[in-house]
Amino acid sequence: MTTVKSETYVTTINDLDKKGSGRAVVWRDIGEVNPRKLKLTIPQTLPGEKVRVTVGQPEKRRTRVMPEEIVEAHPERVDALCPHFERCGGCVWQHWSYQGQLNEKTNHVKKVLEEQEFDSNLVHDTIGMDNPWRYRNKMEFTFSKDGELGLHELGNFRKIISLETCLIAGKEMVEATMEVADWAKKHNLSGYDKDTHEGLLRHLMVRQSFETGEIMLGLFATEAPNGELASAAKDLTERITNKFPQVKSLLWLKNEDWADRTQAEETHLLAGRDFIYDEMLGYRYRIWFDTFFQTNPTQAQKLVELALEMGKPKETEKMIDLFCGVGTFSLPFASKVGKLAGIEIVETSIESAKRNAKDNGLSNTYFLAKDARRGIDEVLESFGIPELLLLDPPRSGAGGKVMRRIGRAQPERIVYVSCNPDTFAVDIKELEPFGYELVEVQPVDLFPHTMHVECVAMLVRKNIEI
């Protein structure tokens, strides 16, 4: 195999990939007649910038490399505020002015819609945050095999960088996290090794309601807090309850599964209750460790308000909330329609939705634990055709079969809440043959300093007045 020595290049960033990193191309002299094209992924760069990079020795057709120098900077480049930015894999756009980030997100939504032959003029400017810091109400930190607590290193899922701070999480969340990190060091507790599947501590989940102030700490470990671990668990409980009265749920969660996920085979309650209360738009929700709830409550409230504004629910109407989760959208809409049916495949979320509806005094709701396509069929049979349908699918989208089933059901109005513009654009294309027209799309920034953007969109059946 032909090999080449390390080479240094000055190259121009052409565009960004789906993870927010810059992309460029260089041509390598490999000692043959023609140079070889090498595609570069260069994190922490911006479109149009000229950067200096050194490409290593092995011959490849594509590779990832960090910039050595920004030769010509983008006019919107700024200094990152977080001391961990250059190494941490969490926030990839702290080097980009916030307005620049918002513009890029708007342009991305327009681009994916144009690719599906929709009118990009229907896309409004992305709604940003007044203060794009300290916005997350949930964080998941990981223990390294030597027991350090932190986040994954940029581009290296196997390596954990220990943290001094995190500027997208609430201050109290970070303080509680640092206390757990100190506790783990004091007791010399091992972290979980993903290669050997040995070690004790795996993850720490931290959740805090911005409305109630309540905090949940969930410690994921490979063993239960019994035997030799009992004294360490007792010390953790005393530390947290004495220093953080706002912690209303302290959990030790046993997870022996090889999959690197925050799941649990056993739940041990160390202090408080096994859930915390959160609120949005005056509605109260119970949040368990595995409950999906929007991680940016400030912007999530805007999502709900936009959905209500676009959907125009009426008290004489029936409504279906597809992928309803614990009822984030269901409860506000149920207060304005005659009947609401929520469909969600996760049974624990449906149980939470039922409980949340009861806690908020709503008696006109029906929640079904079933996959979306079969759930629609069952609800339509007993419920009839709804005037309004809302869907908030996962990042993978609803899929063609579900969208076509929605189209055949012929609701008058459809509100689509999306966390992935790419799958959203493909999904709504499926509705065109059924007579639906895209009316407007409003992007909302729920994840500042990342490439992610959410959208709320309105579609109507043609010849239907709204």
Helix or strand holding residue 304 (H, E): helix 297-311
Q: Name every residue whose Cβ is closer than 8 Å to that of residue 117 and which is 6 or more positions away in sequence.
A: 429
User: What are residue 367's phi and psi, to 5 degrees?
Assistant: -115, 135
Q: Which of 183, 189, 224, 219 lies closest to 203 in space, CA to CA?
A: 219
Half-sphere exposure for 115 (CA within 13 Å, toward CB)? 13
For 341, the token pair is 């049916």
For 245, the token pair is 């009265």
Count the neighbouring beta carbons within 10 Å of the beta carbon of residue 343: 24
For 4, the token pair is 């080449």
Enumerate the H helices of 329-414 as residue ranges.
330-334, 347-359, 372-383, 400-409
- Please say whether the dihedral angle defined by the alpha carbons of residues 446, 170, 149 and 285, taken in this order, is positive or negative: negative
DSSP string, 240-262: HHHH-TTEEEEEEEE---SS-SS
Residues catalogued as catalytic: 419
Distance CA 41, CA 3 (A): 21
